[in-house]
Amino acid sequence: MDHYGEFFEWVRPTASTVAFVKFKGPMSSVALGGALAKEGISIKPTYCFTDDADEYSDYSRMGFGEKVMPARLDALAKYVDKYKLTWLTE
């Protein structure tokens, strides 16, 4: 998350393996979740954890407790690298 600070803010988990992540790019958490799902990366968009999805439309939850997480983080980094120039110009 720190490496891609122009696109993400997050609250580092202190007592669990789930992070609260804000995407600062040009799409909502629902759109980002759909795009990442196509890459095999699962996040939980705003509507999964609040009734006030409009206020938090840029937020998602990401789990870090699974064995496959290192591979998913690599996939996320590749996804961000693929689209970051486009996002910066939008």
Domain CATH for 50: 3.90.1150.10
Task: Evaluate whether residue 1 is within a structural domain.
Answer: no
Domain with 84, as residue range(s), is: 8-89
pLDDT digits (tens, 9 = 90+) for 6-58: 999 987 778 778 888 899 999 988 899 899 988 888 888 877 777 776 777 88
- Tens of pLDDT, residue by residue over 49-83, are 777 767 778 888 887 777 777 888 898 999 999 99
For residue 3, is it within any domain?
Answer: no
Output the pLDDT for position 53: 66
Query: Token match 């970051």: residue?
Result: 84
pLDDT of residue 6: 94
User: What is the total count of domains within the chain?
Assistant: 1
pLDDT for the residue 11: 77
| CA angle (54 as vertex; 52, 59 as ends), nearest 5 | 85
Q: What is the pTM of this model?
A: 0.80
